[in-house]
Amino acid sequence: MDRAGQAAAAAQAMFPPGAEVAAVTIGEAPPPWMAEAAAVAGAVPSRKAEFAAGRAAVRAALDALGLPPVAVPAASTRAPCWPAGIAGSICHTDGLALAVLAPRRQCRALGLDAEPDEPFPEELVNSVTLPAERGWIASQPEPDRAARLIFVAKEAAYKCQFALSSSLIGFEALRISVDTSTQRLSASFAIDVPPFRSGTTISGRFSRAAGLWMAGFTLPVHAPGPAGNV
C-alpha cells in the first residue's frame, strides 16, 4: 500500500460506518473541472495542484459511496459546495490531499485535518492552546508533537462546526480533550457559537500514520443540546 493508501486507511478508522475517505498524492491528479477552476484561477501552481488533488479525492470518495462524480466548486467563504445530501471535508498537507464524505442522513457535518508528524513550533503553542491543553501537552512523552495533535484537532473541529455555524472562530473558542488510550477526542465550545452553546462538545478521533497526525470530527444527525454531547 502506498502512502496515500496508508493515510486513507488510517483516516477511515476515525469516522463512523457510512463515511468514505480517499487520499490523492498532490501532483498526480487531473485538472479540476471547469466549474471548480475559478476558485484557483489566480493561484500559484502549488496551490492549484493541492486544489486539484483535493477535488480528485472528493470524486474518489463519491465513487466509494456509489455516487456519480460531480463538480465541487468553492463558495465565497472558500468552503466546498457539497452535492445535495452530502456532508464532507477536505484537507491538504505534506504531499497528500484527503477527503471524507458521508450522506447527510447519517452525518450532519464532518471535519478532517492533517499535519506532518513533526514538532509544533514552541513559539506558537500559547497562541493556539488554552491553559488546560498546555497542561496536557506538558504531561506527554513528546510535548512538541502533542502540541501538533491539539492544533490538528482544533482545525478539524473548526471545519466540522463551520458546516452548521458558518462562523469564523479563534483557537480559544474550542477546548480539546484527548484520550490517548482510545484515540478519542472531544472539542468543547468555550463560548456560544450558534447553534452551539458554550459547554457543548463534539466528538472525534485521531490517528498517527503515514508520517501524519490526523484528526476527524463527526456531528451526528441529532441536534446538539444546550450543553451536551453531540
Q: Find the CATH number of the domain harbouring 23.
A: 3.90.470
Contact 204, 187 (CB under 8 A): yes
Select from 109, 126, 159 the last residue of a domain. Answer: 109
Q: How many CB atoms lie within 10 A of CB 13?
A: 13
| The predicted structure's pLDDT at residue 78 | 86
In the predicted structure, residue 230 carries a pLDDT above the cut 60: no
0.85 exceeded by pTM: yes
In this structure, are 17 and 38 located in the same domain? Answer: yes
| The predicted structure's pLDDT at residue 81 | 95
| The predicted structure's pLDDT at residue 225 | 46
Confidence tier at 50 by pLDDT (50, 70, 90):
very high
pLDDT tens for each residue of 158-209: 999 999 999 999 999 999 999 999 999 999 999 999 999 999 999 999 999 9
Residue 31 has phi, psi (to 5 degrees) of -60, 155
Q: Is residue 225 part of a domain?
A: no
Q: Is residue 228 part of a domain?
A: no
| The predicted structure's pLDDT at residue 62 | 98
Rg of the chain over all Cα atoms, to the nearest angstrom: 17
| The predicted structure's pLDDT at residue 226 | 44
